[in-house]
C-alpha cells in the first residue's frame, strides 16, 4: 500500500532526471537539426544515484579545502619557513614510540641579537596525552662557515610520557604482565657541539635531569604489579646528573627515501644519582642505519639498522628502569609491542629490502631481531626475538614521508603508522 | 517494514533509471553536416578547475565508476562497444560548437595550415602594457595588451630549454586546428624587455604570500629566469585571449547541466574519443580536463558555449622538465605499473624509473622508436579516450593521414627552430609516429573511405580509397575486395576485385532497384581481404535520381 502511494514520486523523480534548461529559439538559422533527438533519458539521474557519486559529494568539501582552501594554505606556507629567520611552524610529530601523534608548534629564531644564535622552542602535545615542551639555543663560537664549526648549546625540556608500556625487566617478561607507567622529565643541559667535517660531528654535554615516575593516567599501573627491586626507580623516580660525549658520522645521500650512505652514532655517558635513589652507571650506546643501493638509480635498496647499548653500574648502584634500552616497536623490532623487553643491555638489528613502485612510493620487506640482557655476556643466539613483515613508504611531499608497517612476531601482528621517520 | 518499502522504492527507481539510461543515444540516420548545438542559452556558471576536478574526480571517482560498469565490459567482450553518438550517416562528425571539419574533408592550403587559428594578424608588442603578472613558481607568466588593444597570455621558455615549449605549442596548435578542434590563436613573438610597460595596479604575490604592486625590479628578476635569444630578446608564445566569457573546462564525462545545448555525453563524442590517436601522435601527454575551456560566446545574435582545447606546451618532447620519461607512457598514478613493480619485487622497471634521451634542448624527449600506440597514455586519465572504438580511431587516423609530407613540414617550420636539424628531426619523428599509428589502428577496420558513385554504362561505378594502401601500410598486391549488391528483394553473387572500384552492371543494378520504394536504397557490402583474412563488412547505401543519371551515397555502416 505504502509502495503504491510512492510510485508517482518515483515516476516524477525518474522523469525529472531527464529535464533540461529551456533553449531560446530566437535568431536561429534555418538548419537547426541535431544529430541526436535529445539528451539520453535519465542519464543525469543514473549518474546521480551511483554510490560513488555520493562518496564524492561527502568528500568533496574536504578535498576542495585541501586543494585550494584552508588546508592548502597552511601546507603552502611551509616552504617559506626555511627561508625565514624567525617565526613559527606547524607539524605533526610524536615523542617516543607508542606516544601517538599530535600537533607540534615550533617557535624559532635563527639569528637572535643578530649574532647567529639559533633558538627553537618546539611544543608538542599528542593525542595520547604525551607532552614535550623544549627549548634549545645554539650560540656560534666560530663563524667561519655558515654551519658554525663550534657552538655553545643550552637546552631545557619538560616531557610527560602519559602511559608507556611496561612488562617488567628482562628477556623473559611475559605479555600478560602488561601495565603502564607515567614518567615526567624536567631537564636542563648545556655543552659544546662541533662540526669536524661535513660528515663528522661531535658533542660534549652535561645535563641535570629530574625524572618523576607516577601511576599512569590509564590502564593498569605498573606500580600495582612490580616492586622497586623489580624495576629500580619505579616508585622513586630519580634525579640524575650526567655528562655525555657523542660522535656522529652522517653520509646519507638525502633527507628521505634514501638510497645510499648511512648514519652512525656513538655516545658514552656517566650518570650519577643526585637524589631519590642510588643510581650511578656508565652508558655506552651505538646505533646506525646504512643503505646499499642495488641499482644505479637507487630505486632498489637494502637497508640495515642496528643498536647496541649497555649500562654498567658503578659500585653496586643501580640503573633506573626508564634509562634502560628496550626492544619492541617501530624503532627496534616491529611486530613486538612498544617497550616490550627492557634491561640494562640490549641489541637489535634490522634488514630491509626496499624497492620503488612509484615515484612517490617505496615498498619493502623487513626482518628485525633483538634481545635484552643484564650484561653483554648474557646475550645468546637462541634468545633473539624476531619480527618480520612488509612496509610501504609514501611521500606526499618531498619532506614528509608516511610509512605503514605491518609487523609480525610470535606474539602478535602489529600495524604501525609513522610520519617523518628517518629509516 | 518501513525499511523494506524504502528499499523496494529505491530498487524500482534504480531499475527504471538503469533501463532507460542504457537505451543508447543513437545518432540520427541522416546525412547531417551541422549538429546545431549553438542555440541561445542563459549564461552558465563558471565550472571549477582544480587538481580536485581533474585528478581526484576524474582519476578516482569517474574512472572507478567506468571501471565498475559491467555492461560496458560485456559490450566490449562481445565486440560491440558503445559507438560514438555524434556520427552522421556517412561515419563522419558533423560541425558543432565543439568541432569543425577542416583539412581531412575540406583541403586547406599550405598557407591556411601555417596560419592555423591566427585569423587576425600578428600581435604588436612594441610598447605593450603588462596587465597581469605571475612572478613566482616554476613558470612565470605575463598578460600583455598589445598596441592594437588585444590581450595575450605570454608563456616563456625554460632557460635551460629555449624554444622547447613555444615550438611544441606552435606545431600542436596548427595540427589540432587543422584536425578540426577549437584552439586559441597562438603566436611566436619576440619581446624586448625594455619596451614593456607596467600597467596600473598590476599585483603580484611575493615570496611571503603578500599581495603588492609589480615593480620594474620584479619584472627584471623574473625575466632573468627565462630563455633569451643571443641578441637579448625573449622568444615567447603569445596566446590571444579566447573570445567570450570563460566558463571553466568542459567535463570529460557526462553533460554540462547548465548548457541546454549539451545533449551528447562527452565520453561518447567521437571528436573527444578519437583525440586519443591525435594526442598520441603529437604526444599531448598533458590532456587533463583543466586543458579544455568553455567560453560563452555571442555569434549571429545567439549566445552559447563554444568548447576549446588549450595549452599545448606539453606536447611533442616538451614539458617543464623534458627529462621525465614516463609522460605518455604511464599515468601519474598507474596502478598496473605499480602492481607490476610490487609483484616482481622491484625487478620490473616501470616508465617512472627509466631515463630517456633529450634529443636537443629545443626538441626535448620526442621519439618514435619506443612509441606504442596501444600503450600510449596521457599523464592524467582522459575518460573519453577509454571509450574509443576502432571506428573512432579510424576516423582520427584519416585526419592524421590527411597531412602530406610538405604540408607537415610547413607546419613544423612554424616553430621557427633556430637549428634546422631540430625541424628535420621533429618532422621525421612525426612521420615515423604516424606510420606506427597507421600500422596499429588501420588493420583493425576495413580502412576504406571516400566512397563515391557515378553512372557507368547503364550501371554504376562505386569508387573508394583504401587508406592502408594509400598510407603504404599494406601492399596492394596482397589486397582484394569482395562485394555483394543488395536490394529489397535481391542479393547478388559475391565477387572479388583487385582495384578499389566496383562496377555494377545494368542488370544487377536493375534487379537491386526493382521493387524498392521511393525512399529505397541499394546496398553494396564490401569485405577487405588482406593476407588471408577479411575485415568486417562495410555497407555503402546509395540512391538515385528518377532518371538514374545521378547517384549519391546516403549512408555507410561499418562492423
Inform me whether the C-beta atom of residue A1 falls under 8 Å from chain B C-beta atoms: no
- Angle at B450 (CA atoms; ends B448, B454), nearest 5 degrees: 115
3-state DSSP call for residue B82? coil
Window A:299-328, CB contacts with B under 8 Å: 299-300
- Cross-chain residue pair B85–A35, CB shorter than 8 Å: yes
- Which helix (H) or strand (E) segment holds residue B345: the answer is none
In three-state form (DSSP H/G/I as H, E/B as E, the rest C), the secondary structure along B189-218 is: EEECHHHCEECCCCEEECCCCCEEECCHHH
Residue A121 and residue A106 in contact, taking contact as beta carbons nearer than 8 Å: yes
CA pair distance B543, B556, nearest whole angstrom: 12
What the block records as the C-alpha cell of B157 is: 621558455
CB B220 within 8 A of CB B132: no
CB–CB contacts below 8 A, A to B: 179
Residue to mutate among B83, B260, B263, with most A CBs inside 10 A, is: B263
- Is B333 near chain A, with CB under 8 Å? yes
What pLDDT, on the 0 to 100 scale, is given for residue B113?
Answer: 97
A263-274 residue pLDDT tens: 999 999 999 999
Q: Are A109 and A137 in contact (CB under 8 A)?
A: no
- CA angle A365/A366/A372 to nearest 5° reads 170
- State the pLDDT at residue B517: 64
Half-sphere exposure of B117 (CA within 13 A, CB side): 28
User: Checking DSSP bridges between strand A280-293 and strand A261-275, what pairing results, if any?
Assistant: antiparallel
Distance from CA of A47 to the nearest CA of B (A): 8
Residues of chain B with pLDDT under 50: 1, 3, 14-28
Q: How far apart are CA A371 and CA A383, in angstroms?
A: 6
H helices within A1-69, ranges in order? 2-16, 43-48, 51-68
Name residues 22-81 of chain A within 8 A of B (Cβ).
22-29, 31-47, 49-50, 52-53, 55-56, 60, 63-64, 66-68, 76-77, 80
**Element at B429 (helix H, strand E):** helix B420-441
Angle between helices A70-81 and A51-68 (to 10 degrees): 40
Cell of B349: 622497471
Subunit contact B337:A3, Cβ cutoff 8 A: no
Most B CBs within 10 Å, among A358, A392, A396, A397, to test the B interface: A358
Cβ neighbours for B502, distance < 8 A, ≥ 6 positions apart = B461, B462, B463, B481, B483, B524, B526
For residue B173, the cross-strand partners are none
* CB contact at 8 A, B395 and B92: yes
CB B532 within 8 A of CB B487: no
Chain A residues near residue B39 by CB distance under 8 angstroms: 23-25, 28, 32
pLDDT at A397: 75
Task: Give per-10-residue mean pLDDT for chain A (423 aa).
Answer: 48 45 60 88 86 86 70 50 76 85 92 88 93 94 69 95 93 92 96 92 96 87 90 94 96 82 96 92 97 88 96 92 94 94 96 91 95 95 95 82 93 88 74
Grid cell listed for A63: 578535498
For A334, A341, A349, A379, the CA distances from A371, given in Å and listed in that order, are 13, 8, 9, 7
Nearest residue of chain A to residue B92 (CA atoms): A35
B51–A36 C-beta distance less than 8 A = no
pLDDT tens track for B67-125: 888 988 899 888 889 999 999 999 999 999 999 999 999 999 999 999 999 988 889 88
Name residues whose C-beta falls within 8 Å of residue A175's C-beta, 6 or more positions apart in sequence. Answer: A167, A337, A340, A411
- Enter the pTM of the model: 0.82
Contact B23, A59 (CB under 8 A): no
Q: How confident is the model at residue B18, as a pLDDT?
A: 45
Contacts of A41 in chain B (CB under 8 A): 20-21, 23
Indicate the residue of A31, A33, A43 with minimum beta-carbon distance to B265. Answer: A43
Beta bridge partner(s), residue A373 = A345
pLDDT at A10: 44
Within 357-396 of A, beta carbons closer than 8 Å to B belong to: 357-359, 361, 363
Look at A47 and B263 and tell me if their CB atoms are within 8 Å.
Answer: no
Residue B85's closest CA among B215, B228, B255, B227? B255
Smallest CA-to-CA distance from A153 within A185, A201, A197 is with A201
Interface of B with A in 58-77 (CB under 8 A): 61, 64-65, 68
Question: Looking at residue B224, what is its pLDDT?
Answer: 87
pLDDT value at residue B52: 81
| Cell numbers describing residue A232 | 629500580
Is the Cβ of A397 closer than 8 Å to some Cβ of chain B?
no
Among chain A residues, the shortest Cα distance to B253 is held by: A47
Q: Please give the pLDDT value at position A21.
A: 53
d(CA B477, CA A401): 62
- Which residues in chain A have Cβ-Cβ distances shorter than 8 Å to B20? 14, 18, 41-42
Which of A28, A42, A358 is the closest to B352 by Cβ? Answer: A358
CA distances from A90 to A69, A138, A398 (A): 17, 21, 16
Q: Which residues of B touch A47 (CB under 8 A)?
A: 65, 254
CA distances, B298 to each of B40, B244, B245, B250 (Å): 9, 7, 10, 18
Collect all residues of chain B within an 8 Å Cβ-Cβ radius of residue A49.
13-14, 17
User: Do residues A126 and A94 touch, judged by C-beta distance below 8 A?
Assistant: yes
Phi first, then psi: what are they for B80, rounded to 5°?
A: -130, 65
In 10 A of CB A107, how many CB atoms? 14
Which residues are A358's β-sheet partners? A361
Amino acid at each position: 500500500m505504502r509502495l503504491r502511494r510512492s510510485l508517482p514520486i518515483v515516476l516524477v523523480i525518474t522523469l525529472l532526471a531527464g529535464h533540461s534548461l529551456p533553449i531560446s529559439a530566437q535568431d536561429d538559422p534555418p538548419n537547426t537539426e541535431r544529430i541526436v533527438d535529445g539528451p539520453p533519458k535519465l542519464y543525469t539521474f543514473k549518474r546521480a544515484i551511483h554510490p560513488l557519486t555520493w562518496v564524492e559529494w561527502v568528500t568533496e568539501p574536504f578535498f576542495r579545502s585541501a586543494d585550494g582552501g584552508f588546508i592548502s594554505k597552511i601546507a603552502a606556507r611551509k616552504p617559506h619557513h626555511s627561508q625565514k629567520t624567525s617565526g613559527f611552524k606547524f607539524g605533526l610529530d610524536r615523542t617516543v614510540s607508542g606516544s601517538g601523534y599530535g600537533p607540534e608548534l615550533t617557535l624559532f629564531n635563527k639569528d637572535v641579537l643578530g649574532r647567529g644564535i639559533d633558538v627553537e622552542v618546539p611544543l608538542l602535545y599528542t593525542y595520547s596525552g604525551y607532552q614535550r615542551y623544549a627549548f634549545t639555543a645554539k650560540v656560534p663560537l666560530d663563524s667561519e662557515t655558515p654551519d658554525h664549526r663550534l657552538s655553545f648549546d643550552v637546552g631545557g625540556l619538560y616531557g610527560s610520557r602519559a602511559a608507556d608500556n611496561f612488562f617488567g625487566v628482562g628477556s623473559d617478561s611475559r605479555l600478560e604482565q602488561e601495565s603502564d607507567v607515567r614518567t615526567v622529565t624536567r631537564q636542563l643541559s648545556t655543552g659544546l657541539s662541533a662540526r669536524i667535517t661535513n660528515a663528522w660531528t661531535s658533542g660534549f654535554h652535561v645535563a641535570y635531569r629530574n625524572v618523576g615516575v607516577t601511576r599512569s593516567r590509564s590502564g593498569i599501573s605498573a606500580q600495582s604489579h612490580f616492586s622497586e627491586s623489580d624495576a629500580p626507580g619505579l616508585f622513586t623516580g630519580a634525579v640524575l646528573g650526567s655528562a655525555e660525549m657523542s660522535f656522529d658520522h652522517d653520509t646519507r645521500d638525502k633527507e628521505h627515501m634514501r638510497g645510499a650512505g648511512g648514519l652512525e652514532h656513538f655516545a658514552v655517558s656517566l650518570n650519577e644519582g643526585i637524589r631519590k635513589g642510588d643510581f650511578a652507571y656508565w652508558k655506552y650506546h651505538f646505533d646506525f642505519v646504512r643503505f646499499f643501493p642495488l641499482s644505479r638509480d637507487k630505486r632498489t635498496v637494502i637497508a640495515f639498522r642496528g643498536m647496541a647499548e649497555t649500562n654498567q653500574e658503578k659500585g653496586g648502584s643501580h640503573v633506573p628502569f626508564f634509562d634502560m634500552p628496550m626492544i619492541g616497536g617501530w624503532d627496534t623490532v616491529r611486530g613486538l609491542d612498544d617497550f616490550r623487553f627492557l634491561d640494562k643491555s640490549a641489541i637489535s638489528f634490522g634488514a630491509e629490502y626496499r624497492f620503488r613502485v612509484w615515484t612517490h612510493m617505496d615498498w619493502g620487506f623487513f626482518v628485525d631481531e633483538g634481545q635484552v640482557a643484564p650484561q653483554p655476556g648474557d646475550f645468546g643466539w637462541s634468545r633473539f626475538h624476531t619480527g618480520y613483515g612488509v612496509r610501504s613508504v609514501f611521500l606526499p611531499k618531498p619532506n614528509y614521508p608516511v610509512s605503514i608497517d605491518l609487523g609480525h612476531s610470535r606474539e602478535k601482528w602489529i600495524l604501525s603508522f609513522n610520519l617523518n621517520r628517518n629509516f | 517494514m518501513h525499511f523494506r518499502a524504502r528499499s523496494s522504492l529505491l530498487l524500482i527507481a534504480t531499475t527504471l533509471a538503469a533501463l532507460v539510461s542504457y537505451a543508447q543515444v543513437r545518432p540520427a540516420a541522416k546525412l547531417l553536416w551541422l549538429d546545431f548545438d549553438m542555440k541561445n542559452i542563459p549564461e552558465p556558471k563558471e565550472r571549477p578547475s582544480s587538481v580536485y576536478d581533474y585528478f581526484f574526480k576524474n582519476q578516482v571517482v569517474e574512472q572507478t565508476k567506468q571501471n565498475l560498469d559491467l555492461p560496458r565490459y560485456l559490450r566490449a567482450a562481445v565486440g560491440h562497444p558503445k559507438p560514438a553518438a555524434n556520427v552522421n550517416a556517412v561515419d563522419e562528425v558533423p560541425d558543432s560548437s565543439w568541432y569543425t571539419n577542416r583539412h581531412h574533408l575540406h583541403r586547406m592550403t599550405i598557407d591556411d595550415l601555417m596560419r592555423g587559428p591566427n585569423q587576425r594578424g600578428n600581435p604588436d608588442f612594441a610598447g605593450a602594457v603588462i596587465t597581469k603578472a605571475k612572478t613566482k613558481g616554476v613558470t612565470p607568466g605575463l598578460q600583455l595588451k598589445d598596441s592594437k588593444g588585444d590581450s595575450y597570455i605570454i608563456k616563456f621558455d625554460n632557460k635551460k630549454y629555449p624554444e622547447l615549449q613555444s615550438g611544441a605549442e606552435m606545431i600542436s596548435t596548427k595540427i589540432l586546428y587543422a584536425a578540426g578542434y577549437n584552439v586559441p590563436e597562438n603566436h611566436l613573438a619576440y619581446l624586448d624587455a625594455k619596451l614593456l610597460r607596467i600597467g596600473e595596479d598590476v599585483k603580484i604575490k611575493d615570496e611571503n604570500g603578500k599581495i603588492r604592486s609589480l615593480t620594474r625590479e620584479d619584472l627584471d628578476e623574473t625575466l632573468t629566469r627565462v630563455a633569451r635569444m643571443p641578441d637579448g630578446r625573449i622568444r615567447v608564445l603569445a596566446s590571444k585571449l579566447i573570445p567570450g566569457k570563460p566558463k571553466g573546462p568542459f567535463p570529460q564525462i557526462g553533460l554540462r547541466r547548465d548548457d541546454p545545448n549539451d545533449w551528447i555525453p562527452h565520453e561518447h563524442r567521437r571528436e573527444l574519443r578519437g583525440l586519443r590517436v591525435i594526442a598520441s601522435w603529437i604526444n599531448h601527454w598533458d590532456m587533463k580536463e583543466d586543458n579544455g575551456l568553455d567560453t560563452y560566446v555571442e555569434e549571429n545574435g545567439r549566445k552559447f558555449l563554444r568548447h576549446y582545447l588549450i595549452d599545448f606546451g606539453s606536447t611533442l618532447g616538451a614539458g617543464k622538465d623534458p627529462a621525465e620519461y614516463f609522460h605518455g607512457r604511464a599515468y601519474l598514478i598507474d596502478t598496473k605499473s605499480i602492481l607490476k613493480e610490487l609483484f616482481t619485487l622491484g625487478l620490473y622497471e616501470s616508465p617512472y624509473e627509466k631515463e630517456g634521451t633529450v634529443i636537443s634542448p629545443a626538441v626535448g624527449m620526442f621519439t618514435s622508436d619506443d612509441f606504442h600506440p596501444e600503450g600510449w597514455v596521457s599523464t592524467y586519465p582522459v575518460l573519453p579516450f577509454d571509450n574509443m572504438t576502432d571506428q573512432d580511431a579510424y576516423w582520427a587516423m584519416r585526419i592524421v593521414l590527411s597531412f602530406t609530407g610538405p604540408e607537415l613540414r610547413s607546419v613544423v617550420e612554424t616553430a621557427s627552430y633556430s637549428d634546422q636539424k631540430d625541424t628535420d628531426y621533429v618532422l621525421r619523428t612525426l612521420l615515423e609516429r604516424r606510420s606506427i599509428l597507421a600500422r596499429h589502428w588501420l588493420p583493425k577496420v576495413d580502412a576504406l573511405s571516400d566512397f563515391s558513385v557515378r553512372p557507368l554504362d547503364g550501371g554504376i561505378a562505386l569508387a573508394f580509397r583504401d587508406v592502408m594502401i594509400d598510407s603504404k601500410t599494406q601492399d596492394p598486391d596482397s589486397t582484394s575486395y569482395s562485394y555483394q549488391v543488395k536490394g529489397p528483394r535481391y542479393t547478388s553473387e559475391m565477387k572479388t576485385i583487385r582495384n578499389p572500384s566496383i562496377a555494377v552492371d545494368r542488370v544487377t543494378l536493375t534487379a537491386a532497384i526493382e521493387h524498392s520504394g521511393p525512399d529505397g536504397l541499394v546496398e553494396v557490402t564490401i569485405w577487405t581481404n588482406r593476407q588471408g583474412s577479411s575485415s568486417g563488412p562495410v555497407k555503402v547505401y546509395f540512391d538515385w535520381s528518377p532518371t538514374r543519371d545521378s547517384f549519391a551515397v546516403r549512408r555507410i555502416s561499418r562492423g
